[in-house]
Amino acid sequence: MSRTGPTTNDSSTVKLGLAQIRVLDSADNISDRNVAGTASDSIGTLASTKYTGDTEFLRESAMLECGIREMTPKNWALIYGLDATSGYTEEHSGEINLGARVTPEFLRMEAHYTYPNGTNKMYIIFPRAQVTSTVEEDSQLEEASSVPVTFTATPADSSITDGDTAWDDGPLGRIYWE
């Protein structure tokens, strides 16, 4: 019997696993259309990653949701929409003040995905994003906890204050492969 249904055209294009999420200062990297972060900018081990690109008539949005597993002061600052790119250097020492948040900080979010062949890569870059999620940490008896966080892309083009012409063709960022 011959095979029916969908068949794989190129197995090197099948995604398995999670992306590495890197967070950087948006203002310092706003003009860079390519990867700007390094592995040291990673938020660490994740439970999940999910990209959503929503398009309505004449309006588009992009977001990336992930489940953070490493419970560090830096990651909690990020989860709360604070500037996590500076001031949070210790893994087990720090403080997050509750009840004082106003507007989430702008940051640069890069999702780095390496295909299983170890060669090909896909990148999602939000040059100017904000964390827009509700903080919820659910601990289980014998399972690592995970805090969901949503990075929402905001316009980064030259039509906004602190934007850059590098993003005039894609105000929310871009996805590219190499």
For residue 153, being part of any structural domain is answered with yes
Please name the helix (run of DSSP H) or strand (run of DSSP E) that holds residue 20, with its range, or none.
Answer: strand 20-25
Q: Which residues pair with 54 in a beta bridge?
A: 61
Query: Cβ-count burial of 6 within 10 angstroms (0-12 exposed, 13-18 middle, 19+ buried)?
Result: exposed
Q: What is the pLDDT of residue 1?
A: 65
For residue 74, being part of any structural domain is answered with yes
Which residue, among 29, 7, 15, 137, has the nearest Cα to 75 in the 3D structure? 137
* Residue-number span of the structural domain to which 161 is assigned: 16-177
Strand 59-68 vs strand 147-153: parallel, antiparallel, or unpaired? antiparallel
Q: What is the pLDDT of residue 8?
A: 84
CA 87/CA 73 separation, integer angstroms: 10
- Entry field: residues in the chain: 178
For residue 5, being part of any structural domain is answered with no
Q: What is the pLDDT of residue 4?
A: 79
Return the structure tokens found at 31.
């003009």
Q: What is the pLDDT of residue 85?
A: 82
- Using left for φ > 0, alpha for ψ between -120 and 50, and beta otherwise, residue 9 falls in alpha
Q: What is the pLDDT of residue 74?
A: 93
Which residue, among 65, 78, 125, 140, has the nearest Cα to 104 in the 3D structure? 78
For residue 65, being part of any structural domain is answered with yes
| Number of domain units in the chain | 1
Instruction: Report pTM.
Output: 0.92
- Per-residue pLDDT of the chain (178 residues), as tens digits, is 677 788 888 888 988 899 999 999 999 999 999 999 999 999 999 999 999 999 988 899 999 999 999 999 999 999 999 988 878 888 999 888 898 888 899 999 999 999 999 999 999 999 999 999 888 988 888 888 999 999 999 999 999 999 999 999 999 999 999 9
Task: Give the C-alpha distances (Å, rounded to integers) separating 105 from 25, 26, 121.
Answer: 9, 9, 28
**What's 160's DSSP letter?**
S
For residue 7, being part of any structural domain is answered with no
Which residue, among 34, 128, 134, 33, has the nearest Cα to 79 in the 3D structure? 134
For residue 8, being part of any structural domain is answered with no
68 touches 147 (CB < 8 A) = yes
For residue 56, being part of any structural domain is answered with yes
For residue 67, being part of any structural domain is answered with yes
